[in-house]
Copies of this chain bind each other. A is one copy, B any other.
Amino acid sequence: MYFPSWLSQLYRGLSRPIRRTTQPIWGSLSRSLVLSSQRRNPEFSSFVVRTNTCGELRSSHLGQEVTLCGWIQYRRQNTFLVLRDFHGLVQVIIPQDESAASVRKILCEAPMESVVQVSGTVISRPAGQENPKMPTGEIEIKVKTAELLNACKKLPFEIKDFMKKTEALRLQYRYLDLRSFQMQYNLRLRSQMVMKMREYLCNLHGFVDIETPTLFKRTPGGAKEFLVPSREPGKFYSLPQSPQQFKQLLMVGGLDRYFQVARCYRDEGSRPDRQPEFTQIDIEMSFVDQTGIQSLIEGLLQYSWPNDKNPVVVPFPSMTFAEALATYGTDKPDTRFGMKKYFKRKDIESIRKFSADHFDQEILPVFLNTNRNWNSPVANFIMELKRQELIRLMETQEEDVVLLTAGEHNKACSLLGKLRLECADLLETRGVVLRDPTLFSFLWVVDFPLFLPKEENPRELESAHHPFTAPHPSDIHLLYTEPKKVRSQHYDLVLNGNEIGGGSIRIHNAELQQYILATLLKEDVKLLSHMLQALDYGAPPHGGIALGLDRLICVVTGSPSIRDVIAFPKSFRGHDLMSNTPDSIPPEELKPYHIQVSWPTDSKAAKAH
């Protein structure tokens, strides 16, 4: 059902002052306070036939003649019905007198979810019949005229939030699913939050919203890029994974501050919970360093954060990649919880099994008895002195459980990090709230390695993020001696264990860029010759970031899947289930693009039948 006053909450906008502990941005602060006092709800009934929305009517409207349009949500005993629009629900009294027979016929015969327009008077509900749970519960509409705008056929499912539907059915009839409270809320919150981000960037800080092409050239190693055949034989466009090259070229072009709510594409085949197209808040600035970008983003999130959520506290804590891996076993730690208590002995068996099954790795539990003795199969293999040392290091207390593992550092840390989340799942099924969904724990992770060994050939290097990332100033000398040890000026933004953004200071020196591309990464430099040339023609120092909008809104709304914050998402397999997309194309429509289908041998046979 419609949550009381969620819409005005959403649109109330900027009434919460910005809390900021370091580097005050006074201009933004004063501006937002000034704006907030002026801001009201938008006019939802301008330009249309209705005078009001269903959800906005209150006792203050008593006696007013109103015209409403909406969907029939509910009808009882041919005496009243509940009309719904995006704003909420209102009760409509079906007239019983003879003179209103035609109005009665319309309102009594229209199937549920039919669209009607009614005009009438706002009246008080009879004493005792008010509904305090309903925002419009003090009033009802005494109808004079009614019109059936469109009748509804029998629905494949009921439009009620508590009705459980399979996701496939929801996606097949997405236009019906969108009528649910949750989808309306999610899409409107997303729109509002993006609008506030735009105000912050464009109106308060002078960013220029610039659209960059999506029909572009493939990038080196861009195996995850969709192809778009052109009308020139053998020539293809690619749909880029991000506007990375363009945003940097805009800085070379002197645009100074760029942002775009950018559509990006990534063809990851069957990888689950990814969308082939997704959206990022894409930002680039000239003459900026890492702390400048971080302050900008902290201010941006604070400014655009919804009123009805727990506030964002800035500055966000920061942690190096090495520290995150060593402490949390991941580069995107969920910092809402520690992980110290509540285990039962039989849980340990399931944890040992999990690590053996998933990682082929042995886990050794250590139970500390009240006398601080170790109750563990490993106890005898570790000297008393080492045991004391471990107890001190871990700051363990009585009845703690310590999980020990041994092995290559990164692998062991990564296993323990996953076990930590597994343990959290386990404890939450027991009712221990470790990860409060209403809390928002932001974290910067910094000082990533610039390069990683290639998976298929560990003696060669690949970029940990992308080849335009600048090395850490303290490590530049290592580029020529021990490139594997070079840290980068890359930073990730983590929220509740989700990577919601990442960016870097970029290389602005052509020679350094050439050295990294050609000598260290052994990339085909021809594909990027325009970038190298651009750096030579007066490129300013610059850096930027991209926030994954779908994931961010997903966490903010507490949705189980990013598909719940996208109007028309693709399924796991990249299909639009509503329209049956992707689809076959008649061969003659392929001809202008000089391509033909290479049917796999077995499908060809199947097709012939």
- Of B184, B209, B216, the residue contacting A195 (CB under 8 A) is B209
Top 3 nearest A-B pairs by Cβ distance?
A178-B253, A152-B538, A42-B206
- Of B175, B211, B231, the residue contacting A279 (CB under 8 A) is B211
Contact A204 B42 (CB under 8 A): yes
Distance, CA A28 to CA B44, complexed state (A):
12
Given contacts A173-B537, A191-B208, A234-B599, 11 further A-B contacts (CB under 8 A): A48-B292, A113-B538, A115-B538, A155-B537, A176-B253, A212-B567, A214-B277, A216-B579, A253-B567, A269-B592, A530-B580
Question: Can you sample 30 A-B contacts with CB below 8 Å?
Answer: A44-B257, A46-B205, A47-B288, A47-B295, A71-B538, A115-B541, A149-B541, A150-B509, A150-B535, A152-B536, A152-B538, A175-B250, A184-B254, A187-B208, A191-B202, A191-B208, A191-B209, A195-B209, A212-B567, A214-B214, A217-B579, A229-B595, A233-B600, A233-B603, A234-B584, A237-B581, A246-B567, A246-B568, A591-B598, A594-B600
Distance, CA A183 to CA B214, complexed state (A):
20
Say if the beta carbon of A218 comes within 8 Å of chain B.
Answer: yes
Say if the beta carbon of A143 comes within 8 Å of chain B.
Answer: no
Distance, CA A607 to CA B235, complexed state (A):
13
Number of interface residues of A (CB under 8 A): 147
User: Which A48-78 residues sit within 8 Å CB-CB of chain B?
Assistant: 48-50, 69, 71
Contact A598 B203 (CB under 8 A): no
Q: Chain B: which residue is nearest A204 at the CB level? A: B42
**Shortest distance from the beta carbon of A581 to any chain B beta carbon, whole Å:** 4
Contact A46 B28 (CB under 8 A): yes
Contact B582 A42 (CB under 8 A): no
Q: Chain B: which residue is nearest A265 at the CB level? A: B215
Contact B228 A583 (CB under 8 A): no
Cβ contacts under 8 Å, A69 to chain B: 286-287, 540
Q: Chain B: which residue is nearest A535 at the CB level? A: B150
User: Which A568-597 residues sit within 8 Å CB-CB of chain B?
Assistant: 568, 570, 574, 576, 578-585, 589-597
Say if the beta carbon of A285 comes within 8 Å of chain B.
Answer: yes
Contact A206 B44 (CB under 8 A): yes
Cβ contacts under 8 Å, A205 to chain B: 42-44, 46-47
Cβ contacts under 8 Å, A585 to chain B: 218, 227, 234, 236
Say if the beta carbon of A252 comes within 8 Å of chain B.
Answer: yes
Contact B249 A175 (CB under 8 A): yes
Distance, CA A123 to CA B234, complexed state (A):
61
Cβ contacts under 8 Å, A233 to chain B: 597-600, 603
Say if the beta carbon of A289 comes within 8 Å of chain B.
Answer: yes
**Shortest distance from the beta carbon of A256 to any chain B beta carbon, whole Å:** 5
**Shortest distance from the beta carbon of A70 to any chain B beta carbon, whole Å:** 9
- Of B40, B174, B261, B595, the residue contacting A596 (CB under 8 A) is B595
User: Which A190-225 residues sit within 8 Å CB-CB of chain B?
Assistant: 190-192, 194-195, 198, 202-206, 208-218, 223
Distance, CA A142 to CA B530, complexed state (A):
37
* Interface 1/0 per residue, A276-300 and B, CB below 8 Å: 1101000001111100110110000
Say if the beta carbon of A85 comes within 8 Å of chain B.
Answer: yes
Q: Chain B: which residue is nearest A72 at the CB level? A: B538
Cβ contacts under 8 Å, A6 to chain B: none
Contact B538 A593 (CB under 8 A): no
Contact A175 B534 (CB under 8 A): yes
- Of B204, B208, B227, B589, the residue contacting A590 (CB under 8 A) is B227
* Interface 1/0 per residue, A252-282 and B, CB below 8 Å: 1111110001010101010000001101000
Contact A235 B538 (CB under 8 A): no
User: Which A122-147 residues sit within 8 Å CB-CB of chain B?
Assistant: none
Cβ contacts under 8 Å, A250 to chain B: 175, 178, 567
Contact B153 A537 (CB under 8 A): yes
Cβ contacts under 8 Å, A541 to chain B: 115, 149-150
Say if the beta carbon of A508 comes within 8 Å of chain B.
Answer: yes
Distance, CA A276 to CA B236, complexed state (A):
13
Contact B212 A582 (CB under 8 A): no
Cβ contacts under 8 Å, A408 to chain B: none
Say if the beta carbon of A339 comes within 8 Å of chain B.
Answer: no
Cβ contacts under 8 Å, A285 to chain B: 47-48
Say if the beta carbon of A230 comes within 8 Å of chain B.
Answer: yes
Cβ contacts under 8 Å, A279 to chain B: 211
Say if the beta carbon of A484 comes within 8 Å of chain B.
Answer: no
Distance, CA A177 to CA B286, complexed state (A):
18
The CB with the most chain B CB atoms within 10 A, among A202, A234, A585, is that of A234
**Shortest distance from the beta carbon of A118 to any chain B beta carbon, whole Å:** 12
Say if the beta carbon of A439 comes within 8 Å of chain B.
Answer: no
Say if the beta carbon of A539 comes within 8 Å of chain B.
Answer: yes
Distance, CA A288 to CA B216, complexed state (A):
39
Cβ contacts under 8 Å, A582 to chain B: 215, 217, 228, 230, 232, 235-237
Contact A235 B46 (CB under 8 A): no
Contact A580 B217 (CB under 8 A): yes
**Shortest distance from the beta carbon of A431 to any chain B beta carbon, whole Å:** 37
Cβ contacts under 8 Å, A121 to chain B: none
* Interface 1/0 per residue, A317-345 and B, CB below 8 Å: 00000000000000000000000000000
Say if the beta carbon of A239 comes within 8 Å of chain B.
Answer: yes
**Shortest distance from the beta carbon of A191 to any chain B beta carbon, whole Å:** 4
Contact B213 A277 (CB under 8 A): yes
Say if the beta carbon of A27 comes within 8 Å of chain B.
Answer: yes
Cβ contacts under 8 Å, A195 to chain B: 198, 202-203, 209
